[in-house]
Amino acid sequence: MPTITPFLWYDDNAEEAVEHYRSVFGDVTVHDVSHYGEAGPGTPGSVMTISFEVAGQRLTALNGGPDFQFTEAISLQVDVDGGQEEVDRLWNGLADGGTESQCGWVRDRFGLWWQIVPRELTALLTDPDPERAQRAMQAMLKMGKIDIAELEAAAG
């Protein structure tokens, strides 16, 4: 069975990004590092790719140069089971040097978009009572970082 690994294009700071993700998530494992050779296009001996795993997800980071940037069209969703404390910790770590957005989205300092989604949000948005789900949705649309207590209060 084939596997799918998201491939992330950084300018020349993939190593810094992986270390930042280690500081935020704590459970980053680096599997492989490749280096540019004489054929380029990067500086010979510099890091080309880093294959790593964060929160159980395998990713590959490329030092590919400034040609391409991340957009909101692709983001990494982080399903959070640890309540508001974990939402706050992850959000604050990823937002450090980045940009806060709405509905649980945050862009890290490297330009990669993340969605910090507590399990309580998913439960409320899929509630069998459509009115309760809609009240939760309306509350979420007004939030940057997800506030679980506020969502639950709005849902009723």
pTM of the model: 0.93
Every domain of the chain and the residues it spans: 1-68, 70-156
Close Cβ partners of 113 (under 8 Å, ≥ 6 residues apart): 70, 71, 72, 74, 75, 76, 101, 105, 106, 107
Average pLDDT over residues 18-27: 96
- CATH of 1-68 given 3.30.720.100, 3.30.565.10, 3.40.50.1000, 3.40.50.300: 3.30.720.100
Using an 8 Å Cβ cutoff, are 72 and 105 in contact?
yes
Contact between 21 and 54 under an 8 Å Cβ cutoff? The reply is yes
22 three-class SS: helix
Residue 50 burial (CB count, 10 A): 21
* Cα 29 to Cα 81: distance, rounded to the nearest angstrom: 21
Summarised one tens digit per residue, pLDDT across range 96-137 is 999 999 999 999 999 999 999 999 999 999 999 999 999 999
- Cβ–Cβ contacts within 10 Å for residue 58, how many? 14
Same-fold call for 1-68 versus 70-156: no
pLDDT at 37 > cutoff 90: yes
Q: Does domain 70-156 have CATH number 3.10.180.10?
A: yes
